[in-house]
């Protein structure tokens, strides 16, 4: 029992300074993401975290410092989720804070497990590889759309405007994040007088400059587009007696831009069922030179056995629909988790009524282009966007950001969309009811943007791109190979060190 008590005693007496520093670094890291965009803070904060982990005297202390960093990062970086829980999901403030706290604690706990891989090795290059690979593996795993996933605030998103974003077409946001995490570890160990990692990090940044000059997809002409931002409020989206007014508002903004090849309305632009507006929508589309793509709901069946889908509808030469596959927890569906079920019953929270759509490639064939459609939350899942992306000419992302008010949430979503454009080498149209409505170039840069919370139409010409990037074709294979190399290299070094110790 004495060693166990000694570990706990050492943990309690451990320097509070580095613990507070870990928490503060997590908060600073959140400022590297949109809308702040201070990406050097990500390098600094992770470098300081790695130092705090490296000098920790016990595994328990490493985990605790990693947990504090994760808590600071996620609590401040996702505080906008509270608005969504209160104004969209319908929770009272106390319950919303409780659920938000559970989420942050869960994310921080999983993150801290990755920090446990901070091993004190003689080879600081191996240590850097292991640290970057461990945290990157956490970000990959947390991105899979299983019962619990959180594909936001990945390290790579903070570097979308840096040279290392050129790694996105190769290994996605995760390879960008890996390069950034390795660079942060290299900075840390440079202060410990180990310079090999910093040389490798410099080579990574220099190589990205060459990689950025490659064209992964090919130009195939231009498309004139018009994105309608009607600035509809959440109440207007939900009140049945306002449906007609919302329709007329979108129609008026559309008529003045009828010459566009593609006109896009946002997610759930018309808050009713497709059957209620399909005839009228077809009449509007007949007056257009191009196609109309908009968001609404689709109802199948009736009563308790009926299902409602969040859909994107294309009306051109024919009517096509895409049903949203990845739903928003609590907003569109209630997670059936054993931990949350008693709480849901206690507060009598109504079960969300939207059903997930079947597996689909998300391709809609408009008059002038093949579009890859993503609805809201789906844009945060690279593997979902990548599905048959090579067959598309551009990406259309429909969003309903009014639920987030004037928080930073929509700007983080725009940053995520920018990374999807960079990963796929495709132009991306982001249509939102309150903004930011934006047109993104294939390299992820913002080509044009509407002011938020205004009623307007964004007109521009976008590039049609054919082909696919390495990431679009190979998916997880490139980053998987990098992670495998990192873990194998580290394991090989540990075994070599162990053998030398035994021989001595």
Phi and psi at 151, nearest 5°, equal: -85, 30
In this predicted model, what pLDDT tens digit does every residue of 39-60 receive, in sequence order? 999 999 999 999 999 989 888 9
Read out DSSP for 25-91?
A: HHHHHHTTSTTT--THHHHHHHHHHHHHHHT-SSHHHHHHHHHHHHHHHHHHHTTHHHHIIIIIS--
For residue 402, the model assigns a pLDDT of: 84
Query: What is the pairing mode between strands 370-375 and 394-399?
Result: parallel
* CB count in 10 Å sphere of residue 138: 20
Cα–Cα distance measured from residue 1 to residue 114, given in angstroms and rounded to the nearest whole number: 28
What pLDDT shows up at residue 236?
45
Q: What predicted TM-score, i.e. pTM, was given to this entire model?
A: 0.92
Question: What is the predicted pLDDT for the residue at 224?
Answer: 96
Whose CA is closest to 269, among 290, 288, 254, 287? 254
Task: Supply the pLDDT for residue 1.
Answer: 44
CA distance 47 to 50: 5
| Total length of the chain | 504
**What is the chain's pLDDT, residue by residue, as a tens digit (504 residues)?**
455 555 555 555 567 889 999 999 999 999 999 999 999 999 999 999 999 999 898 889 999 999 999 999 999 999 998 877 787 666 788 888 888 998 899 999 999 999 988 877 778 899 999 999 999 999 999 998 665 688 999 999 999 999 999 999 999 999 999 999 999 999 999 999 999 999 999 999 999 999 999 999 999 999 999 999 999 865 544 566 678 888 889 999 998 898 999 999 999 898 888 888 888 888 888 888 889 999 999 988 776 677 889 999 999 878 899 999 988 776 676 665 555 555 555 554 545 578 888 998 999 998 889 999 999 989 999 999 999 999 999 999 999 988 888 889 999 999 999 999 999 999 999 999 998 999 999 999 999 999 999 999 999 999 999 999 999 999 999 999 999 999 999 998 888 765 666 565
Instruction: Kindly tell me the burial class for residue 469, based on how many C-beta atoms sit within 10 Å of its own C-beta (0-12, 13-18, 19 or more).
Output: buried
Phi, psi of 460, rounded to the nearest 5 degrees: -170, 170
- Which residue's entry shows tokens 């992306």? 389
Sheet of 307-315, strand order: 319-323, 307-315, 291-300, 262-264, 218-229, 456-466
Q: CA nearest 410: which of 402, 418, 421?
A: 402
Cα–Cα distances (Å) from 294 to 122, 229, 300, in that order, read 58, 12, 19
**Residue 418 in contact with residue 444, Cβ under 8 Å?**
yes
Domains in the chain with CATH codes: 14-214+475-503 (no CATH), 218-468 (3.60.110.10)
Q: Tell me the C-alpha distance between 169 and 476, whole Å.
A: 12
Task: Identify the burial level of 480 via C-beta atoms within 10 angstroms of its C-beta, where 0-12 means exposed, 13-18 middle and 19 or more buried.
Answer: middle
């Amino acid at each position: 029992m004495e060693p166990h008590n000694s570990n706990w005693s050492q943990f309690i007496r451990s320097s509070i300074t580095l613990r507070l520093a870990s928490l503060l670094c997590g908060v600073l890291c959140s400022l590297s993401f949109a809308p702040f965009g201070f990406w050097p803070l990500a390098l600094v904060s992770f470098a300081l975290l790695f130092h705090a982990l490296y000098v920790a005297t016990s595994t328990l202390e490493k985990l605790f410092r990693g947990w504090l960093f994760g808590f600071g990062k996620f609590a401040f970086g996702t505080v906008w989720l509270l608005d969504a829980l209160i104004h969209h999901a319908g929770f009272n403030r106390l319950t919303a804070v409780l659920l938000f706290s559970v989420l942050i604690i869960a994310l921080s706990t999983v993150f801290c497990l990755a920090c446990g891989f901070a091993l004190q090795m003689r080879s600081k290059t191996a240590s850097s590889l292991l640290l970057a690979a461990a945290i990157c593996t956490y970000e990959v795993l947390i991105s899979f759309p299983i019962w619990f996933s959180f594909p936001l605030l990945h390290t790579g998103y903070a570097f979308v405007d840096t040279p290392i974003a050129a790694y996105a077409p190769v290994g996605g946001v995760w390879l960008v994040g890996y390069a950034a995490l390795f660079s942060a570890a290299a900075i840390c160990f440079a202060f410990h007088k180990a310079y090999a990692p910093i040389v490798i990090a410099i080579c990574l940044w220099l190589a990205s400059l060459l990689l950025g000059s490659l064209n992964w997809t090919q130009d195939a002409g231009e498309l004139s587009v018009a994105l309608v931002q009607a600035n509809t409020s959440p109440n207007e989206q939900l009140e049945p007696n306002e449906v007609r007014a919302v329709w007329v508002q979108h129609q008026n903004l559309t008529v003045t831009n009828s010459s566009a090849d593609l006109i896009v309305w946002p997610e759930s632009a018309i808050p009713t069922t497709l059957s209620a507006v399909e005839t009228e929508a077809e009449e509007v589309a007949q007056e257009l030179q191009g196609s109309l793509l908009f968001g609404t709901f689709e109802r199948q069946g009736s009563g308790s056995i009926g299902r409602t889908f969040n859909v994107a509808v294309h009306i051109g030469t024919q009517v096509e629909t895409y049903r949203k596959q990845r739903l928003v927890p609590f907003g569109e569906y209630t997670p059936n988790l054993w931990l949350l079920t008693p709480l849901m019953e206690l507060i009598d929270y109504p079960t969300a009524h939207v059903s997930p759509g079947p597996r689909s490639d998300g391709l809609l064939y408009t008059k002038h282009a093949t579009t890859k459609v993503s609805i809201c939350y789906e844009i945060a899942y690279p593997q979902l966007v990548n599905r048959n992306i090579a067959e598309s000419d551009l990406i259309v992302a429909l969003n309903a950001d009014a639920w987030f008010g004037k928080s930073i949430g929509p700007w983080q979503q725009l940053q995520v969309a920018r990374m999807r454009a960079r990963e796929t080498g495709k132009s991306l149209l982001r249509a939102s009811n309150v903004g930011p409505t934006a047109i993104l170039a294939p390299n992820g840069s913002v080509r044009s943007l509407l002011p938020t919370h205004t009623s307007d139409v964004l007109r521009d010409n976008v590039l049609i791109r054919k082909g696919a990037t390495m990431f679009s074709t190979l998916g997880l294979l490139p980053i998987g190979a990098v992670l495998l190399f990192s873990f194998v290299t580290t394991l090989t070094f540990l075994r070599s060190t162990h053998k030398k110790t035994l021989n001595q």
